Amino acid sequence: MADVLAQIRALIALSASDNLDEARNASLAATRLIRKYGAIISLPPENIGTSFPAPTSKRRGDGWRRIKAKYAGVCVHCRQSIRKNTPIWWSFDKGAMHKDCYEPSGKKKAER
Ligand SMILES: [Zn+2]
């Protein structure tokens, strides 16, 4: 098994090659070995807890944006009033929704 790890390390090193074909083939071979032997990838202690940066945009892929209500209005989900200057989710073509009426998973609650 130590030979397999040494081989994976060598292939990963080779994947940084300036020769793109060599780099691609090394990456593929390393990935195949990792999968074949169920190699477990781990982070060094100093990088544990490191995560990808959170998206900076408040715009979601489905067209809803989190904003502060500029005007009073009515929630398209619960039909209750929305007060000016409260946090809402807003969509150009769908309207406004209370923060709590819009689930963070991106799925709107079921219509009543
Ligand atoms: Zn609502």
State pLDDT tens for residues 79-109. 999 999 999 999 888 899 998 888 755 555 5
Rounded distance, CA 21 to CA 11, Å? 13
Q: How far is CA 17 from the centre of its chain?
A: 29
Question: What separation in Å is there between the alpha carbon of 97 and the centre of ligand 1?
Answer: 5
pLDDT given at position 47: 66
Provide the strand spans (E) within the chain.
65-68, 73-74, 81-82, 87-91, 95-98
pLDDT given at position 31: 93
Rounded distance, CA 89 to CA 67, Å? 6
- Over 50: is that where the pLDDT of 112 sits? no
Question: What separation in Å is there between the alpha carbon of 103 and the centre of ligand 1?
Answer: 11
The string of pLDDT tens digits covering residues 17-73 is 999 999 999 999 999 999 999 888 777 777 666 555 444 456 667 788 889 999 999
